[in-house]
Structure 1
Amino acid sequence: MVTTSKAPASGPGRRTAGIDTPAKRGRLAVHRNPYWQACGAGRGGVSLGYRKPTAGAGTWIARLIRDGHRAEHRLGQADDAGAAPGALPYGAALTEALAWAARRAGANSERADRATEPLTVRTAVAAYVADRKARNPENGRDAETRLTKHLLAAKIADRPLADLTDADMAGWVRALDGIAPATVARLLNDTKAALHQAAETHHRLLPAGWRDMLARGLRRGAAAHAKAQPPAAAHQRPFLSLADVRALVAAAGEQDEDGDFSRLVAVLAQTGARFSQVVRLTVADVTEDRGNPARVRLMMPSSRKGRPGNSKATHYPVAIGADLLTLLRPAMAGRGGHEPLLTRWHHRQHAGDKETGRAPRWVKDRREPWHKAADMARPWARAVAAAGLPPSVTPYRLRDASIIRALTDGRLSVQHVAKLHDTSAAMIERHYASHIADAMTDAAHSAVVSIVSAPAVTLRAVG
């Protein structure tokens, strides 16, 4: 057993006494504190102690004083009269004390080395990723991938945190080229979380106002990065025509025999909703008008964008066609209204058998909801290729296509299109301005009336 305490800064130590033979130890007075004998010159360092009991054999104690801290360790019974077999004579106790002190000093040195390891962006990220993985392994791995690729590969990674400046942070963000805005946002969130965690743990090692510096640098860098990017207009992204969308939905139906992926893609395509919304649909969110079977709608869960606690409605109606309803009916049959509408099979692996040569295989285990957009990455890539579209086409292009179809239809206002897609009219105007202009031009042409009277035609008599 080891005990540690702060060594007294001054004061006399317990007087030393002869403890090297059983006879000398037998003449010592009983005392609850050990009799100490230094194992080397000086007051500090390693000492061997002997605790004299009221009866029976005494006990050897080792003590180490280092850097103002004291640690003690019970070595075992002394070879006094009446001691049990295996009791330690003085020489063996001295050897044990020195060995224990060496191990203890080595461990303290290793901890000190770790404690004095430079606190850098890299060490802060490593601690954050380890903590994030412990809470949620999947999300932790996602954060680790982003941070490793974009932050730890930069020169700033080995900069001591105490030496960071807002110019360092802003310069790093400005240099993030060829990264989607959404990825930049997630990367900055991970970076702030990692460095804030380090600041919480090591606040005494960082200068005053360090967090304000960090926020200022990231904010400046993000603003400069956004300004340097080309306008995020929809026409600069791959535009999907209605024929493209239909080809994608058809190709999605070929990716799994149960139709799970096909249903997911079809809902995304016809509603224009985000992945995070459609995966929260329940069976009860499919509503039919009994008086008019042709009128079917989904009560789409609202997005979770915006500030917490806002007053936005939890659902909004989106009209769907009979074709989508037919596709969804197998997913609704025999299921409760509270159950997720869109699910898929979860597989588990059956171990192989080396003796029989049977290879491991994956088997269907249970059905569960889609969790994150990455779950559809592989079947989506296959569907895009099967539809003959470029690999750069992402599922979000289905939302673009839905918004553009609604704008160019001519019967819906910008405000109505925004409400049907759970966004703002300002966002629609900013990102789809060219399509709004086309729709307005078409509407204007259809409203043109003739204002010039046709010249009178003189009729001639025939015959």
Structure 2
Amino acid sequence: MAVNLKSTSARDALKPRRNPYFHCLRIGLYVGYRRADEGTGTWIARRLKEGTKSYEFRSLGTLSGYEEAVRLTEAWAGAVDMGITHKAITVDEVCNTWVTHKKTENSKASAADVEGRFNRLVHGKPIGAMPLDKLRTNHLREWLVAQLNEDGDEDDMRRSKNTANRNLAAVKAALNLALKDRLILTDAGWKTVTPYPKASKRRTGDLTSPERAVLLAHCDIQLAALVRTLLLTALRPGEIANANVGDLNKEQGTLTLTGKTGRRLVTLSTTAIEFLKIQAQNKLPSAPLLTDSFGNRWNKDSWKKRFKNAVKAAKLPDEVVMYTLRHVAISEMIAGGVDTFLVARLAGTSTTMIDKHYGHLRHIQTRARLDAVEMI
């Protein structure tokens, strides 16, 4: 007996039962619908095994309607006809296969890198447990967005996008290998998910000395103190915001910081020491070294809008954010001839990161010194 599954009203009129109602698409291929007692029903595909009188089935789950069920049924049947497995391979399994492939075809370090990414972001996560043939573009996009640092400033966001792009590249490589191995018929579930643009843009210190002076002139007293400190130290904004008066050693000229890299001790320039001594005057050791206009410790929410207004008033590019000041200071150190290792230590980062983002300045400086030498 023919069953109408095309409309929602027709499906709702069916009597709930355990066995699905099937509609024949063509000889040997059916799309089925299991009517639930309550809630939305589920879809199932049925195919007559070639050369037999028995059927094989494929659960399609909850879908948008009849048209999607027909499309997935046809895709499944087509994949079987082409010799593509219809076993419920998960993203987890695909990623494991890719790691094995990397160990065989590439270096151990490369394999260890992607394995670490999968351990952090795929294995044990919803995206990892998802059957490959049910992976949709929105699933991968949601996974990508979840990796972004939305609590940070613009530079934090850029860096998190850069990292997310590398993670996406690793997962898409694993998925593409599955496509090549005929574990799935199409790459429609991930092909259109693209990396974030301009996420790996090299950091530069793009504020000239006159521009810095104009910026400081448009800051109130407390904000100017924060801006000046960052320009004098190349510290992260959060590190100086966390600093207490007691963290400043006036005799040794050092500052103990607590932040992204844990606790560390940095040496200050004479100018920075004298400036911070003034900020620490008449304050208890446990008090914040720098405060906002209300005497409270600085945080991202209290400086972000005020700094943006100062940038606008100074007619500087919108891309200038608080984190830019750290990049300006690092650039000036490198251009001034300070050793890369020392700059990395003061800034609380690695020499690799310094070379990657500021190495061009070191080359300019070296070239200037070479040009000053009479070779011939």
Q: Which has the larger radius of gyration?
A: 1
TM-score by length of 1: 0.40
Compare the two structures and name the one with the higher strand fraction: 1
